[in-house]
Amino acid sequence: MNIGEAAKASGVSAKMIRYYEQTGLIPPAGRTAAGYRDYTMKDVHVLRFVRRARDLGFSVAEIDGLLQLWRDRGRRSADVKRIALGHIGDLRRRIAEMQQMAATLEQLAACCSGDDRPDCPILADLERPSQVASDEPKRMRGAVDGRSPRGRKPQKSKSRKTSRK
């Protein structure tokens, strides 16, 4: 089976199959005399595993761990569960953050007349200084994605008390 057929059978694009091989997530496939990658049903099985895990939002790193456990007959299900629970926590966190954003925006949008006039509470909100310096827990500001690099790190920058004016 060549890579195109393996892609169709597994649901993983040929591009991604090569990428996963390159990064070591999956072992190098066999090769035909002509140099074409050659896949067995077992390989497709692995690819489907990867695909399903991606569908559930696991990162490639997490999938790597899951794959190793999958192959390990002597694994402890606790290890699998730990990875899954960690991922669930990630998801719940990101969901909560996005819900917070959506709620704020919906509130603002509800107050916006949405007509030809320029006055807009949405812009008014964006304009106001972000209330970061409060004593609140300071929860990851933009963080939504957890995985995609959307404003994750709190942008510390320590403090730099000198006022060079």
Partner DNA sequence: CATGAACCTTCCAAGCGTTGGAAGGTCAAG
Partner DNA sequence: CTTGACCTTCCAACGCTTGGAAGGTTCATG
Given the rule CB under 7 A, which of 10-18, 74-82, 85-93, 95-103 is the region that contacts DNA? 10-18
Binder of residue 144, out of a copy of itself, DNA, none (CB less than 5 to 8 A by kind): a copy of itself
> Do the beta carbons of residue 143 and residue 101 sit within 8 Å?
no
59 binds DNA (CB under 7 A): yes
Binder of residue 45, out of DNA, a copy of itself, none (CB less than 5 to 8 A by kind): a copy of itself
Q: Tokens 């994750």 appear where?
A: 152
Give the shortest CB-38-to-DNA separation in angstroms: 8
Looking from the CA of 110 toward its CB, the CA atoms found within 13 Å total 6
Binder of residue 78, out of DNA, a copy of itself, none (CB less than 5 to 8 A by kind): a copy of itself
If 0-12 CB within 10 Å is exposed, 13-18 middle and 19+ buried, where does residue 41 land? exposed
> What tokens appear for 8 in the block?
């169709």
25 binds a copy of itself (CB under 8 A): no
